Amino acid sequence: MFQISTKVDYGLILMRSLALHYATGPMSLRTIAEENQLPYRYLTQIVMPLRRALLVKSFEGSRGGYQLAKDPQTITLQDIARVLAPHKRLNRCLRTDHASCSLKPHCSMSSWWLHFNVRFQKMIHDIKLSDLV
Protein backbone atom coordinates (compact mmCIF):
# COMPACT_ATOMS: atom_id res chain seq x y z
CA MET A 1 0.00 0.00 0.00
CA PHE A 2 1.13 3.58 0.46
CA GLN A 3 4.14 4.39 2.54
CA ILE A 4 5.08 7.67 4.15
CA SER A 5 8.81 8.33 3.91
CA THR A 6 10.93 8.07 7.03
CA LYS A 7 11.78 11.74 6.64
CA VAL A 8 8.10 12.78 6.80
CA ASP A 9 7.35 10.26 9.55
CA TYR A 10 10.21 11.44 11.76
CA GLY A 11 9.41 15.05 10.88
CA LEU A 12 5.86 14.60 12.14
CA ILE A 13 7.17 13.03 15.36
CA LEU A 14 9.58 15.95 15.78
CA MET A 15 6.86 18.52 15.16
CA ARG A 16 4.46 16.72 17.52
CA SER A 17 7.11 16.78 20.26
CA LEU A 18 7.56 20.51 19.74
CA ALA A 19 3.78 20.98 19.81
CA LEU A 20 3.55 19.10 23.11
CA HIS A 21 6.05 21.56 24.60
CA TYR A 22 4.87 24.64 22.72
CA ALA A 23 4.19 26.67 25.87
CA THR A 24 7.28 25.53 27.78
CA GLY A 25 10.07 26.82 25.54
CA PRO A 26 12.69 25.28 23.28
CA MET A 27 13.56 21.59 23.29
CA SER A 28 16.88 20.09 22.33
CA LEU A 29 16.95 17.72 19.38
CA ARG A 30 18.88 15.26 21.51
CA THR A 31 16.01 15.14 24.01
CA ILE A 32 13.47 14.67 21.23
CA ALA A 33 15.61 11.92 19.70
CA GLU A 34 15.98 10.11 23.02
CA GLU A 35 12.32 10.41 24.02
CA ASN A 36 11.15 9.07 20.66
CA GLN A 37 14.02 6.65 20.01
CA LEU A 38 14.95 8.43 16.77
CA PRO A 39 18.42 8.92 15.30
CA TYR A 40 19.72 12.30 16.44
CA ARG A 41 21.83 12.90 13.32
CA TYR A 42 18.83 12.34 11.06
CA LEU A 43 16.74 14.79 13.10
CA THR A 44 19.43 17.44 12.57
CA GLN A 45 18.89 17.03 8.82
CA ILE A 46 15.10 17.06 9.10
CA VAL A 47 14.87 20.18 11.26
CA MET A 48 16.81 22.39 8.84
CA PRO A 49 14.17 22.59 6.06
CA LEU A 50 11.47 23.07 8.72
CA ARG A 51 13.49 26.00 10.06
CA ARG A 52 14.00 27.49 6.58
CA ALA A 53 10.24 27.21 6.00
CA LEU A 54 9.67 29.17 9.24
CA LEU A 55 7.78 26.33 10.88
CA VAL A 56 10.36 26.05 13.68
CA LYS A 57 12.86 28.47 15.15
CA SER A 58 16.13 27.76 16.86
CA PHE A 59 17.68 29.17 20.02
CA GLU A 60 21.35 29.08 20.97
CA GLY A 61 22.86 28.55 24.39
CA SER A 62 22.51 26.18 27.31
CA ARG A 63 18.72 26.55 27.31
CA GLY A 64 18.57 26.54 23.52
CA GLY A 65 16.96 24.15 21.15
CA TYR A 66 14.01 24.28 18.82
CA GLN A 67 10.49 25.56 19.21
CA LEU A 68 7.51 25.88 16.90
CA ALA A 69 7.49 29.23 15.15
CA LYS A 70 3.69 29.21 14.98
CA ASP A 71 0.81 28.00 17.08
CA PRO A 72 0.24 24.24 16.51
CA GLN A 73 -3.36 25.05 15.59
CA THR A 74 -2.13 26.91 12.50
CA ILE A 75 0.31 24.29 11.17
CA THR A 76 -1.21 21.56 9.00
CA LEU A 77 0.17 18.16 8.12
CA GLN A 78 0.20 19.42 4.55
CA ASP A 79 2.52 22.28 5.56
CA ILE A 80 4.97 19.78 7.01
CA ALA A 81 4.72 17.31 4.12
CA ARG A 82 5.28 20.07 1.54
CA VAL A 83 8.52 21.02 3.28
CA LEU A 84 9.86 17.51 3.84
CA ALA A 85 8.64 15.86 0.63
CA PRO A 86 8.03 18.69 -1.85
CA HIS A 87 8.20 16.62 -5.03
CA LYS A 88 6.59 13.40 -3.86
CA ARG A 89 3.37 12.25 -5.48
CA LEU A 90 1.04 9.44 -4.46
CA ASN A 91 1.27 7.91 -7.91
CA ARG A 92 3.53 8.53 -10.90
CA CYS A 93 0.58 9.50 -13.12
CA LEU A 94 0.18 12.58 -10.90
CA ARG A 95 3.67 13.75 -11.81
CA THR A 96 4.11 16.40 -14.47
CA ASP A 97 7.80 15.87 -15.19
CA HIS A 98 9.75 13.30 -17.21
CA ALA A 99 8.95 10.60 -14.65
CA SER A 100 5.24 10.77 -15.37
CA CYS A 101 3.62 7.57 -16.52
CA SER A 102 3.54 7.10 -20.28
CA LEU A 103 0.15 5.37 -20.02
CA LYS A 104 -1.49 8.44 -18.47
CA PRO A 105 -3.38 9.62 -21.60
CA HIS A 106 -5.08 6.23 -21.99
CA CYS A 107 -5.19 4.95 -18.42
CA SER A 108 -8.55 4.17 -16.87
CA MET A 109 -7.13 4.86 -13.38
CA SER A 110 -5.55 8.26 -14.02
CA SER A 111 -8.66 10.30 -13.25
CA TRP A 112 -9.29 8.19 -10.14
CA TRP A 113 -5.76 8.90 -8.88
CA LEU A 114 -6.30 12.59 -9.48
CA HIS A 115 -9.57 12.47 -7.51
CA PHE A 116 -7.91 10.46 -4.72
CA ASN A 117 -5.04 12.96 -4.53
CA VAL A 118 -7.43 15.90 -4.22
CA ARG A 119 -9.21 14.19 -1.32
CA PHE A 120 -5.92 13.18 0.33
CA GLN A 121 -4.53 16.73 0.06
CA LYS A 122 -7.72 18.13 1.58
CA MET A 123 -7.51 15.64 4.43
CA ILE A 124 -3.90 16.49 5.34
CA HIS A 125 -4.73 20.18 4.97
CA ASP A 126 -7.57 19.79 7.46
CA ILE A 127 -5.46 18.00 10.09
CA LYS A 128 -3.66 20.46 12.31
CA LEU A 129 -0.53 19.71 14.30
CA SER A 130 -2.58 20.40 17.42
CA ASP A 131 -4.81 17.43 16.48
CA LEU A 132 -1.83 15.12 17.02
CA VAL A 133 -1.24 16.32 20.58
Domain assignment of residue 103, yes or no: yes
What CA–CA distance (Å, rounded) separates 76 from 47? Answer: 16
More confident of the two residues 127 and 104: 127
Domain assignment of residue 25, yes or no: yes
Domain assignment of residue 88, yes or no: yes
More confident of the two residues 44 and 64: 44
Looking at residue 90, what is its pLDDT?
Answer: 64
What CA–CA distance (Å, rounded) separates 28 from 33? Answer: 9
Counting Cβ atoms within 10 Å, is residue 57 exposed (0-12), middle (13-18) or buried (19+)? middle
Domain assignment of residue 1, yes or no: no
Domain with 112 in it: 6-132
Packing angle between helix 77-84 and helix 110-126, nearest 10 degrees?
A: 120
pTM of the model as a whole: 0.85
- What domain count does the chain have? 1
Among residues 84, 101, 85, which one has the least CA distance to residue 93?
A: 101
The CATH number for 122's domain is 1.10.10.10
Domain assignment of residue 43, yes or no: yes
Looking at residue 99, what is its pLDDT?
Answer: 61
| Mean pLDDT, the chain, integer | 88
Three-state helix/strand/coil letters over 31-56: HHHHHHCCCHHHHHHHHHHHHHCCCE
pLDDT digits (tens, 9 = 90+) for 61-104: 878 899 999 999 999 999 999 999 887 666 666 666 666 677 76
